[in-house]
Amino acid sequence: MAIQLSAQCVSSLRKAGNLIHLRTAALGVEKRNYSSRKASAEYLHRSVVPSMHYQKSLPRLPVPKLEDTIRRYLAAQKPLLDDEQFRTTEKLAQDFQNGVGKQLHEELVAQDKNNKHTSYISGPWFDMYLSARDSVVLNFNPFMSFNPDPNTEYNDQLVRATNVVCSAVRFMKTLRAGILEPEVFHLNPAKSDTDGFKKLIRWVPSSLSWYGAYMVNAYPLDMSQYFRLFNSTRIPKRGRDELFTDDKERHLLVMRKGNMYVFDIVDRDGNLVKPAEIQSHLKYILSDPTPAPAFPLGVLTSENRDVWAGLRDKLIAAGNAEDLRVVDSALFCLCLDDESMKDHIHISHNMLHGDGCNRWYDKSFSVILAKDEQATINFEHSWGDGVAVLRFQNEIFKDTTEQPLVHPGSAAAAVDSASAVRRLQFNLDGELETGIKKAKENFDSAVSKLTIDAMEFKKGGKEQLKKSRLSPDAIAQLAFQMGFLRQYGQTVATYESCSTAAFKHGRTETIRPATIHTKRCSHAFVCQPGQHSVEQLKAMLSECSKYHGQLTKEAAMGQGFDRHLFALRYLANSNGQALHSLYTDPAYTAINHNILSTSTLTSPAVSLGGFAPVVADGFGVGYGVHDDWIGCNVSSYPARNVHEFLQCVHKSLEDIFTVLEGKSLS
């Protein structure tokens, strides 16, 4: 059943949109009421409401009106162009809206009406990711580090690895049994996150259940990506990769020193293998004296996708098809590193890319455990977005810290790990050895150019900003605009990711934080600090916050412009049409050359997250606004100076908080 939203319903969803975007990150841990019997050894919990109960009745991602998209596009271009450039772009956009764009839009709307089981962006978005030929390392895979276990003795590599594996199996089993609590954003948890409501809503047919949740101000989120979490891999193919999933397999892939091992973590009856046995097998791997291979296969997953596809064909021809299938179908990949982490910067480099040898970057996700307490998830991005991975990470952190199945001093089971664990050995000819050597050279060259730095601003955070009636996210984004202006004297294309998981098969939309308001405010703070009163500066901050809040709500409601223009371009290409000059306009190229690529994340489970810049002259900005501090983890290539950028961002935050305290800028 396709849900048609009433005007009142759309209005309520729009109000929720901003909150959904900014607080989805914390779902999965904070105050989740599971309304279930006690967790067993096999399951995390037993949700009264089936996992996919709301999926059928989720509202559909709207295709925005073309005139709204063009208006929003031009508003985002305004701070990036001079008057003459803007007039040219405006003319092209209006010509597109009244001609080719109108036809393409009508075709897209008709296509969308004929495909009510999905969203208009889902197919093109998968295609965009899977057709990209660049390496997934640095270009696509991000990382999110776990916080340490508060019980420090549980951070031992073997103990934590065993508990993470056991909790991951419990999560997988809970999901596949349909008893994982559905992902729901509760605006009024006192009404909707209760046993009484859940016992009631479970009897509402799934074709209507979303409405039932909406009546109590609860917003179920799309869970269609979750099935790709386990037993899944991106397979390189020439031209366009494929996603592979085989949910019948029961084994784990473990990597150490570039060697690859497999053993079963689920038994023939579908139960979790005894935790003590899993511990024994991991202990065996950690003590295996086999040296690092001269030609580690994992580094091939860091290659250009067409090059890797060709080498994979050669691997299969050399008799390695079965072992490759074992790798591809493993539940997930566990990377055991022999190195201890020195600091945040070392963690970021190791977890984002490592040395290329002890990773299989194509797995849907890998859990990486360093010699010390550091544990991280690195995930392949084509199959899904952060919502599913973060829910998994939150649940794993909660389960391993609250209900660990092995303990410091636990005796590993007296089992024959030598026969249970198999080390994969691949047949390599001279051509494959050369391919691996070349892949490692390319990898080393790419990662050597990456610089990462971090900053913590300790003079204020979310609480103070909210007291000043300012959006914490808006102020963080404004600080990046001010910082870049201070460093380079420019306002540039900026991207902030926003989930559209409130809709069926929603992916992401772009918030465009560089606006005429942030440009005006940044110039006032950076270039004319003595020329405005405190009250005038406060008014500018308020204007930036209000407008950013509007952009955020619109994006979360699927009312940005980026995905719509992308889908229209994709449709034109699919039809073999020549692209309208809107798409060949240098201004369109520039706004999609995102020099500031940003993403925010706060969660009780996550200590640090990061990704590489999306362009050679850009910054990759991971950030979190906490109660009383603001943190940034930023990456760059040689074209930019990340250390100086963070100093400029810090200075910008100091200035903003100085003004909020009623003091003038010196």
Active-site residue numbers? 381
Question: Residue 383 has which token pair?
Answer: 């199959």
Question: Residue 192 has which token pair?
Answer: 């909707």
CA distance 262 to 638: 40
Provide CB contacts within 8 A for 127, sequence distance 6+.
240, 570
Tell me which amino acid residue 530 is.
Answer: G
Question: Residue 102 has which token pair?
Answer: 């109108």
Residue 410 near residue 282, CB atoms below 8 Å: no
Tell me which amino acid residue 201 is.
Answer: I
Among left, alpha and beta (phi > 0; psi -120 to 50; other), residue 392 is: alpha
Residue 251 near residue 330, CB atoms below 8 Å: yes
CA distance 117 to 225: 14
CA distance 370 to 339: 6
Among left, alpha and beta (phi > 0; psi -120 to 50; other), residue 212 is: alpha
Strand partners, 252: 263
Residue 482 near residue 540, CB atoms below 8 Å: no
Residue 299 near residue 444, CB atoms below 8 Å: no
Residue whose pair of structure tokens reads 């008014």 in the numeric block:
539
Q: Order of strands, edge to edge, in the sheet holding 619-625?
A: 451-457, 630-636, 619-625, 596-600, 494-499, 508-511
Residue 465 near residue 474, CB atoms below 8 Å: no
Q: For 39-58, what is the HEC assignment? A: CCCCCCCCCCCCCCCCHHHC
CA angle 369, 394, 473 (to 5 degrees): 110
Question: Residue 19 has which token pair?
Answer: 């909150």
Question: Residue 483 has which token pair?
Answer: 């910082």
- The closest alpha carbon to 520, from 544, 538, 496, 542, belongs to 544
